[in-house]
Amino acid sequence: MLLKIVQAGEPVLRADASPVAKEQIELAQTKVLIDWMRDTMRDAPGVGLAAPQVGISLQLAVIEDRPEYLRDVSPELLADRERSPVEFHALINPRIVERSDEQVEFFEGCLSVAGFSALVKRSREVTVEYLDERGEERRLEARGWYARILQHEIDHLNGTLYIDRMEPRSFTNLENMGRHWKNRAVADVRRALRLPG
């Protein structure tokens, strides 16, 4: 089943999501929700989806960066973004416990701010602790694009959208993104937009 993805302006996107109790994780309805979120994310298509984006205020997110999403991206851009496939997984009650001081900036979009993109600085590396679909404690370390996805989705669970962190002058619709900025280095984009640094 596909769920409706709510758009910016819906109050659920600006609230702190409620933690998922351990006994809730084992319920059939939680497993079904994870499946529906996976199907909705794939249909969009996207690389991450948080429960608030489908109108449910729970600390639950799903992530998957499928190999086919990378097929048309040049090897240079994949290397620049430190992007490689990420298998499907769900994160319950995730929290970032460590983040690198080094930040990287790339264009970022969101299924709940459909049709737009902007430059966003994020930590290059993060360490995240969470519960998996079986309620087991997990810890993962991520860098590059995977770290960006994790930060984006965990932001959703805390009522934050990428537009809160974006470089405002870089905000663009996807048509103009594809026409002007998609294959350009961030330094070139910053110069073209007359941004400092």
| 3-state SS class at 168 | helix
Measured distance CA(18)–CA(52) in Å, rounded: 10
Element (H, E) at 85: none
| 3-state SS class at 1 | coil
For the chain, give the percent of residues with pLDDT over 90. 95
Task: Decide if pLDDT at 89 tops 80.
Answer: yes
Across 25-34, 91-100, 150-159, 188-197, least confident range: 188-197
Classify domain 11-192 by CATH architecture.
Alpha-Beta Complex (3.90)
Measured distance CA(41)–CA(36) in Å, rounded: 9
pLDDT of residue 125: 98
For residue 35, give the DSSP letter.
H
69 confidence band (pLDDT: 50, 70, 90): very high
Give the model confidence (pLDDT) of 121-147 as tens digits: 999 999 999 999 999 999 999 999 999
Instruction: Sort strands 116-123 and 103-109 into parallel, antiparallel or unpaired.
Output: antiparallel
Sketch the domain layout of the chain as residue ranges: 11-192
Catalytic residue among 64, 105, 125, 153: 153
Give the model confidence (pLDDT) of 162-185 as tens digits: 999 999 999 999 999 999 998 889
Closest CA to 20 of 160, 133, 152, 151: 133
On whether the CB atoms of residues 168 and 195 are closer than 8 A, the answer is no
Give the model confidence (pLDDT) of 55-68 as tens digits: 999 999 999 999 99
pLDDT of residue 197: 75
Give the model confidence (pLDDT) of 92-123 as tens digits: 999 999 999 999 999 999 999 999 999 999 99
Q: What average pLDDT is seen over the chain?
A: 97
Asked about 64 being catalytic, the answer comes back as: no
Measured distance CA(79)–CA(77) in Å, rounded: 5
pLDDT of residue 21: 96
